[in-house]
Amino acid sequence: MKTNSRLEKILEKGEFAVTSECGPPRGADPDVIRKKGELLKGVVDAVNVTDNQTSVVRMSSWASCLILKDMGFDPIVQMVCRDRNRIAIQSDILGAAALGINNILCLSGDHQKFGDHPSAKNVFDMDSIQLIWTVKRMRDEGLFISGEEIKGRPNLFIGAAANPFADPFDIRALRLAKKVAAGVEFIQTQCIYNLERFEKWMEMVKDMGLHEKVHILAGVTPFKSIGMAKYMKNFVPGMDVPDALIDRLKGVPKEKRANEGIKIAIETIQRLKEIKGIHGVHIMAIEWEEKVPEIVEAAGLLPRPEV
Amino acid sequence: MIVAERKPIEEIVNMIRDFNKVLILGCGTCVAVCMAGGEKEVQVLAAQLRMIFSKEGKDIELIEDTIQRQCDKEYIEPIADKIRSVDAVLSMACGVGVQFTAEVVPEKIVFPALNTKFYGATIEEGVWSERCAGCGNCILDKTGGICPIARCSKRLLNGPCGGSNNGKCEISPEIDCAWQLIYDRLKALGQLEKLEEIIPAKNWQTSLSGGPRKVVREDLRK
C-alpha cells in the first residue's frame, strides 16, 4: 500500500470499487457541497471533485475536497492542465497532500472554448501524461520536475481518465499504456453507453496486459431525459451514445424516462461487472446525485466494504 | 509565411482620422502573398478610406507606397524622407513591420492596418492555415512532421485527448485533430512505435515564455 487512500485499499483488497462525483458550486456556499455529500454517504468508496469542469468557473476542487473530507469522505482531487503551469500544479499537489487528500485524478482538461470564459488564455504547460509522471516522481522519488528535492513528499494515489470512445480508436489502448508507464494506478473511463466498443477496447487493453497493471473503473452516467441523451451524443466531446439507447428512452412514456435512464445505468453496471479487468464503477450522476444510492443498491454493490 | 488579415475598416478609420497626411505603406513579402497588405491591398484600402473621408467631409491626404520588406532597414531607409513628410504611417505589414518602420524613422507614429495571425501556408485560394508556433525548439522529428504545438488546441505532446472525433478537434469540426494527423502520418511511414515514447514536459524557455527572443550569429556580425 503506497498511500492512505481508502480507494487504494479497496482496490488492493480486490473489492469492486464504487466512486462517484461531486461538481462544486458556482459560488462560495459550502452547504452545496455538504448537501451533495449527504446524498453519497455510505454508498461510495471515494468521491471525485471536478476541477472547473467544462471550463466553467466553480469553487476550487481542493477546497471542495476538504469540505467532503470533513464529512468523512475520501475525496479525489481532480486537476487539469488547462489553468495551471508546472509551478502552480506542483504547488497544488503539495497543498492537497498537506490537507490530507489522498487521491488525485490527472487530466488535460476541456478546452476553455466550452466554458463561461472562452476569451481566457489557456496554459497547457503540461499534458495529463506528464502530470501523472510528475505526481509519481514527487511521491516516489521526492523530486520536483526540476530535479530538486522535496521535503515532505505528497502521498497521493494516482488516477487518470481514459476515453475508449474518442478517435483514433487504435491509439486508445496505447494511450492507456503510456499513462501506465508514466505511473498511473487507477483509471476512470468516460461514460460508457456503447458497450460493444468498450469491450473491444478492453480486449486491446488486456492484450497489452494493462488490466493487471492498473485498476480500471468504468464510467456510468444515467440519462435523465431524451434531451440529455441527445445533448451528450451531439455536443459533448468524446461521447458515444448509440441510437438504440435513445430509441429505448423514446419507447417509454415521458414521465417514466428518468426511471428508464436509471434502469439502463444499472444494467450497464451489471454487464461491466462481468468484464475481466474492470475493478469498479465510477458513477457520474450529473446534478442528480440523489439517484446514486438507488443505482448502487440495485446494482448489488451495497453495503460498501469496511477497510 | 507570416499570415495576416486586414483590420475592420472602422478601426482603421478611427486610428488615422485626426491626421492630415497619412502614408499607407504596404509590405511586398509575406502579407503580399497572403493578400492582406501588398501593393494591391494598399490601393484598395486607400480607395475605401478616401470614400469614407470624403463622405464625412474630411480632408485627409492619403499617400500610397509599398516596399519589399518592412522588417529590413535596407528597404525602409530609402523612403525615410517620404515617411517624415507625412503626419502618420498606416502600415500594412505584420506587427514586425509596424514596429520596425517606427524604429527606423522614430519621428513618426506608425499604426497597424492588419492583425498579424500566425506562421502558415496557403491551403487553397483564399485559405491560409497555421503550421508553426515558433516555439524555438522544433520537435517535428518526433511527431511525423506535424506540429502539435501549433496544431493541437491543447498543445498536447503525448497523443490525442478524449475529444478527438472522426479526425476533428473537440473545439470545432473545422479544425483537424493534430494527433489524428500525426497518427495517420506515422502509420503511413511505418513509425507508429514513436507514439510509445513519453515526451517529457516541454522546455518553454525557447518560446515567448522565456521572454522576448533574439538570435545572434557571431560569425555574421561585423
- The residue type of A139 is R
In this predicted structure, the answer to whether residue B32 has a pLDDT above a threshold of 90 is yes
> Rounded distance, CA B104 to CA A198, Å?
63
pLDDT digits (tens, 9 = 90+) for B108-125: 999 999 999 999 999 999
Are the C-beta atoms of A198 and A120 separated by less than 8 Å?
A: no
B163:A110 CB<8 A: yes
A175:B177 CB<8 A: no
Closest CA to B15 of B70, B87, B63: B87
Cα angle A266, A286, A220 (rounded to 5 degrees) comes to 35
B160 contact A CB<8A: yes
> In chain B, positions 25-64, which contact chain A (CB-CB < 8 Å)?
none
Q: Three-state SS for A237?
A: coil
Q: Print pLDDT tens along chain A (307 aa).
A: 789 999 999 999 999 999 999 999 999 999 999 999 999 999 999 999 999 999 999 999 999 999 999 999 999 999 999 999 999 999 999 999 999 999 999 999 999 998 999 999 999 999 999 999 999 999 999 999 999 999 999 999 999 999 999 999 999 999 999 999 999 999 999 999 999 999 999 999 999 999 999 999 999 999 999 999 999 999 887 899 999 999 999 999 999 999 999 999 999 999 999 999 999 999 999 889 999 999 999 999 999 999 8
Q: Three-state SS for A254?
A: helix
Considering the domain boundaries, does residue A133 fall inside one?
yes
Residue among B162, B166, B200 whose CB faces A163 most closely: B162
> Rounded distance, CA A2 to CA A18, Å?
20
> Hey, where are the domains in chain B?
2-118, 133-199
Q: Which H or E run contains A174?
A: helix A172-182
Q: To which residue does cell 446514486 refer? A: A292
Q: What's the N-to-C CA distance of chain A in angstroms?
A: 12
Its sign, for the CA torsion A144, A147, A152, A153, is: positive
pLDDT for res A287: 86
- The residue type of A244 is A
Q: How far is B172 from chain A (nearest CA, A)?
A: 10
Q: How far is B203 from chain A (nearest CA, A)?
A: 9
Calculate the CA B62 to chain-centre distance.
25
Q: How far is B200 from chain A (nearest CA, A)?
A: 6
**DSSP code, position B111:** E
Are the C-beta atoms of B27 and B67 separated by less than 8 Å?
A: yes
A50 contact B CB<8A: no
Q: How far is A246 from chain B (nearest CA, A)?
A: 20
pLDDT for res A108: 97
Written as nine digits, the cell of A36 is 451533495
Written as nine digits, the cell of B193 is 512505435
**DSSP code, position A113:** G
A238:B162 CB<8 A: yes
Angle between helices A243-250 and A257-273 (to 10 degrees): 140
At A177, which CATH number?
A: 3.20.20.220
In this predicted structure, the answer to whether residue B178 has a pLDDT above a threshold of 90 is yes
B201 contact A CB<8A: yes
B165 contact A CB<8A: yes
B167 contact A CB<8A: yes
Q: In terms of DSSP bridges, do strands A46-49 and B21-27 run parallel, antiparallel, or are they unpaired? A: unpaired
Are the C-beta atoms of A282 and A76 separated by less than 8 Å?
A: no
B204:A125 CB<8 A: yes
Considering the domain boundaries, does residue A196 fall inside one?
yes
CATH of domain B2-118: 3.40.50.2300
> In chain A, positions 125-184, which contact chain B (CB-CB < 8 Å)?
125-130, 133-134, 145, 161-163, 165-168, 170-171, 174-175, 177-178, 181-182
- State the average pLDDT over residues B200-213: 96
Angle between helices A257-273 and A195-207 (to 10 degrees): 20
Closest CA to A106 of A67, A160, A69: A160
Are the C-beta atoms of A34 and A101 separated by less than 8 Å?
A: no
pLDDT for res A237: 78
Q: What is the arrangement of strands in the sheet containing B21-27, beginning at the earlier edge strand?
A: B61-67, B21-27, B88-91, B109-112
Q: How far is A252 from chain B (nearest CA, A)?
A: 31
Considering the domain boundaries, does residue A1 fall inside one?
no
Q: Three-state SS for A215?
A: strand
- State the average pLDDT over residues B120-131: 97
Are the C-beta atoms of B178 and B146 separated by less than 8 Å?
A: yes
Domain membership of residue A20 as a residue range: 6-298
Mutate to test the interface with B, among A81, A124, A192 (most CBs of B within 10 A): A124
Indicate the number of domains in chain A. 1
Residue among B155, B156, B163 whose CB faces A166 most closely: B163
A238:B155 CB<8 A: no
Name every chain A residue with its beta carbon within 8 A of the beta carbon of B162. Answer: 161-163, 165-166, 190, 237-238
pLDDT digits (tens, 9 = 90+) for A88-123: 999 999 999 999 999 999 999 999 998 999 999 999
pLDDT for res A143: 98
> Rounded distance, CA A17 to CA A280, Å?
4
Mean pLDDT of chain B: 97
Considering the domain boundaries, does residue A307 fall inside one?
no
Q: How far is B48 from chain A (nearest CA, A)?
A: 31
A178:B198 CB<8 A: yes
Are the C-beta atoms of A116 and A57 separated by less than 8 Å?
A: yes
pLDDT for res B181: 98
A122:B154 CB<8 A: yes
A188 contact B CB<8A: no
B201:A175 CB<8 A: no
